[in-house]
């Protein structure tokens, strides 16, 4: 079983920690506790080939640009999840800027964009056109840490892309 | 034409023939010949291509070139160092000094840590336990302290890939609680990165993390970091082992350590390689003989309680003795010189004026068992006024109706006194110690009592008439001359107090 390092990056309060908790422990809490620095967790995942991989998930503190410390945390990542809040367009803009910086730093590693909080569909603010503007088709996935929608699949798809 | 004449001509011909055959290339050949035979020129030519030739050779077969040059380079470096040590020292200084500084800092830190540990334990229950063990086993206390101070146990070893923080290997002692070692590895590296980026980017990073009784020691290599989770204080020898282990892994497993894809096989192999470090450490820790300490601990606890009880009991007695000695010392006529333990009991030493009574007589009520104390007091005469008065009262047998007081060295007596006592006082030949004179002007005598006294001492014949007046006694009648002389001696004693009228006394020889 191989170890693969996966990082979650994105603006503050977009739901990175909630996504990790949903994926790792299958729980959700309304309490918001900001992540200081980084929190590392692991989760076992089976690929389509039947091979098991252990994802070492680095849930990084919310940031709107890539600091020196963030770069240190990104080192050695086999892939990353870019998270934005679907009801806050500014976090989507931040995510795009972060993607640009991270892709430069982690040359060629796969990534997926997660538009989180899809359970708040009535307040949704990210259009399909916005999504298609600067990223490849099917790059952005709609997820909800609250309901679990798309979470497992997103981690799975990223793991597949990392093989 | 002779043969000798023909030879120059043949040489010229050959030269002509060469000219025809080689043409313009003849100059080139001559130039090449010149270059090859000219040592300076040859050196020039080689110097122009030497660097490229070495580079090319290294690319093609670096082992071969390294092998070929190693002896010469080694010798060359050796000679150069001997010839120009200062230049080498200056060149190495920037890289070697930080390493030396770190080594010294590490040694100082470990020494301070050990001293701190020993000092802390010196005033602890642990230290008391060591003392009891030393007493029980006969082993010197210093040996026990040294043995205990180096006792440590490596609980876990984590080999962490630098950069990614991925777990390369994880060895742990049997029975250790199961933990998410991959997450721990990641978090450790995250902390390491945070510290390095925040405080010491150029330094080698975090060396130690303390969590309660556990210490995580981090040894850094170029591609991986070895984290040792240790219980207790690791001795310097352990760090040497850990560094050696990391160096060996870097040398022999460099590709596996640097590979971003950490496979099961890699983890298993590297974990296996970490085991010796863990096992050796466990064996070092297990070298201490395992004993069933349950009984010993119980006995030690009981002995401690008994010792504590005895100590408290003796402390209480000592306190009582000190209080009693202080009380004696405060009294006039007693000087306490000290209280000490001798032959299993307390002895109070000092001086006392017998007028104050024996100090031992004051023991009842002090709470001290008479069997636990003895007195070593020598008599002396105190000039304290209270003691002097007491002594005088006893020596002179001052009667109850007579009051005493001192004025300087004079004893002043006042009150109604029995004639017999007054007569004895007047007849006394020595003054008690501590007084220079006795003032009896305040003493009063009753005439009736004087008559009784005289009757007792000299007998008053029936022929004598005795008439008491307020301050005079009139004696008349007939008596012998001897009796009258006896009477006159008595009058000499009481004459300052009572007047005697013996005008009407008739006597015959």
Chain segment B26-51, per-residue pLDDT in tens: 778 778 888 788 888 888 888 888 88
A interface residues, B as partner, C-beta within 8 Å: 1-5, 37-42, 54, 56, 58, 68-69, 72-73, 75-78
- How does the average pLDDT of chain B come out, rounded? 80
H/E segment holding residue B36: helix B25-37
Q: State the average pLDDT over residues B366-381.
A: 86
Instruction: Report residues of chain A scoring pLDDT below 50.
Output: none
In 3D space, the residue among B430, B381, B425, B384 whose CA is nearest the CA of residue B402 turns out to be B425
Q: Kindly state the percentage of chain B with pLDDT values over 70.
A: 85
Query: Is B194 within 8 Å of A37 when comparing Cβ atoms?
Result: yes
Give φ, ψ of B404 to 5 degrees. -125, 150
Query: Is B262 within 8 Å of A75 when comparing Cβ atoms?
Result: no
Q: Which of A14-23, B364-373, B428-437 has the lowest mean pLDDT?
A: B428-437
What's the gap in Å between the CA of A14 and the closest CA on chain B? 22
Query: Which pLDDT value is given to residue B159?
Result: 94
Mutation test of the interface with chain A: which of B187, B260, B264, B266, choosing the one with the most A Cβ atoms within 10 A? B260
Task: Write down the ipTM of this complex.
Answer: 0.80
Mutation test of the interface with chain A: which of B159, B167, B182, choosing the one with the most A Cβ atoms within 10 A? B182
Tens digits of residue pLDDT in B434-470: 888 888 889 988 888 888 888 898 888 888 888 887 7
What's the gap in Å between the CA of A128 and the closest CA on chain B? 34
Tens digits of residue pLDDT in B202-226: 666 788 888 766 788 888 888 899 9
pLDDT above 50 for B289:
no
Q: Is the Cα torsion angle A143, A149, A152, A153 positive or negative in sign?
A: negative
pLDDT above 50 for B376:
yes
Task: Specify the DSSP class assigned to residue A47.
Answer: -
Tens digits of residue pLDDT in B81-135: 888 877 777 777 667 767 777 777 777 666 666 666 666 556 567 777 877 877 8
Alpha-carbon distance B29 to B21, whole Å?
A: 13
Q: In B, which residues are within 8 Å of A56 by CB distance?
A: 165-167, 182-183, 185-186
In 3D space, the residue among B397, B398, B342, B406 whose CA is nearest the CA of residue B375 turns out to be B342
Task: Name every residue whose Cβ is closer than 8 Å to that of residue B141 and which is 6 or more positions away in sequence.
Answer: B130, B131, B134
Query: Which pLDDT value is given to residue A7?
Result: 94
Q: Kindly state the percentage of chain B with pLDDT values over 90.
A: 6
What's the gap in Å between the CA of B259 and the closest CA on chain A? 10
Residue of B nearest to A68 (CA): B197
Query: Is A76 within 8 Å of B194 when comparing Cβ atoms?
Result: no
pLDDT above 70 for B490:
yes
Query: Which pLDDT value is given to residue B288?
Result: 45
Query: Which pLDDT value is given to residue A50?
Result: 92
Q: State the average pLDDT over residues B65-86.
A: 83
What's the gap in Å between the CA of A55 and the closest CA on chain B? 9
Query: Is A5 within 8 Å of B263 when comparing Cβ atoms?
Result: no
pLDDT band at B290 (very low <50, low <70, confident <90, very high): very low
Residue B473 CA to chain centroid, in angstroms? Answer: 90
């Amino acid at each position: 079983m191989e170890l693969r390092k996966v990082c979650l990056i994105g603006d503050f309060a977009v739901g990175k920690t909630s996504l990790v908790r949903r994926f790792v422990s299958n729980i959700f809490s309304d309490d918001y506790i900001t992540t200081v620095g980084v929190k590392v967790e692991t989760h076992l995942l089976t690929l389509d080939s039947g091979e098991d991989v252990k994802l070492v998930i680095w849930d990084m503190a919310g940031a709107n640009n890539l600091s020196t410390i963030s770069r240190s945390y990104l080192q050695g990542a086999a892939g990353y999840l870019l998270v934005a809040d679907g009801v806050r367009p500014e976090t989507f803009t931040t995510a795009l800027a972060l993607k640009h910086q991270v892709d430069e730093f982690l040359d060629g590693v796969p990534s997926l964009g997660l538009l989180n909080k899809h359970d708040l569909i009535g307040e949704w603010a990210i259009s399909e056109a916005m999504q298609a503007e600067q990223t490849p088709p099917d790059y952005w996935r709609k997820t909800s840490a609250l309901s679990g929608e798309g979470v497992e699949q997103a981690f799975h798809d990223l793991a597949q892309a990392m093989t | 034409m002779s043969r000798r004449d023909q030879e120059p001509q043949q040489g010229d011909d050959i030269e002509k023939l060469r000219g025809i055959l080689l043409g313009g290339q003849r100059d080139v050949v001559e130039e090449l010949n010149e270059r090859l035979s000219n040592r300076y020129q040859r050196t020039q030519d080689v110097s122009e291509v030497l660097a490229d030739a070495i580079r090319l050779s290294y690319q093609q077969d670096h082992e071969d070139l390294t092998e070929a040059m190693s002896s010469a380079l080694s010798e060359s470096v050796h000679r150069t160092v001997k010839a120009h040590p200062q230049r080498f020292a200056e060149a190495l200084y920037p890289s070697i000094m930080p390493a030396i500084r770190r080594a010294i800092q590490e040694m100082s830190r470990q020494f301070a840590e050990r001293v701190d540990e020993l000092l802390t334990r010196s005033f602890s229950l642990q230290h008391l336990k060591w003392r009891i063990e030393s007493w029980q086993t006969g082993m010197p206390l210093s040996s026990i302290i040294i043995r205990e101070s180096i006792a440590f146990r490596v609980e876990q070893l984590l080999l962490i890939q630098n950069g990614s923080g991925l777990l390369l290997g994880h060895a742990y002692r049997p029975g250790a609680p199961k933990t998410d070692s991959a997450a721990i590895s990641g978090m450790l590296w995250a902390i390491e990165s945070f510290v390095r980026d925040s405080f010491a980017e150029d330094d080698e990073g975090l060396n130690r993390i303390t969590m309660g009784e556990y210490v995580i020691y981090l040894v850094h290599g170029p591609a991986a970091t070895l984290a040792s989770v240790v219980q207790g204080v690791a001795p310097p020898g352990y760090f040497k082992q850990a560094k050696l282990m990391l160096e060996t892994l870097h040398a022999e497993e460099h590709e596996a350590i640097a590979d971003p894809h950490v496979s099961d096989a890699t983890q298993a192999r590297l974990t296996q390689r970490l085991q010796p470090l863990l096992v050796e450490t466990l064996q070092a820790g297990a070298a201490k003989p395992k004993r069933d300490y349950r009984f010993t601990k119980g006995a030690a606890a009981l002995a401690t309680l008994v010792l504590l009880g005895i100590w408290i009991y003796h402390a209480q007695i000592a306190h009582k003795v000190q209080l009693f000695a202080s009380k004696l010392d405060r009294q006039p006529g007693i000087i306490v010189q000290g209280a000490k333990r001798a032959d299993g009991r307390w002895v109070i030493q000092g001086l006392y004026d017998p007028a104050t009574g024996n100090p031992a007589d004051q023991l009842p009520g002090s709470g001290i068992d008479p069997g636990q104390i003895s007195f070593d007091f020598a008599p002396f005469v105190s000039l304290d006024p209270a003691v002097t008065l007491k002594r005088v009262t006893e020596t002179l047998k001052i009667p109850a109706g007579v009051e005493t007081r001192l004025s300087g060295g004079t004893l002043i007596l006042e009150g109604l006194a029995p004639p017999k006592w007054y007569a004895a006082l007047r007849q006394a030949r020595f003054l008690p110690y501590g007084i220079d004179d006795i003032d009896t002007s305040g003493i009063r005598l009753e005439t009736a009592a004087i008559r009784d006294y005289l009757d007792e001492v000299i007998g008053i014949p029936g022929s004598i008439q005795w008439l008491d007046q307020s301050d005079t006694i009139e004696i008349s009648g007939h008596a012998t001359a001897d009796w009258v002389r006896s009477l006159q001696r008595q009058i000499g004693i009481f004459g300052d107090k009572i007047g005697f009228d013996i005008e009407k006394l008739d006597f015959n020889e």
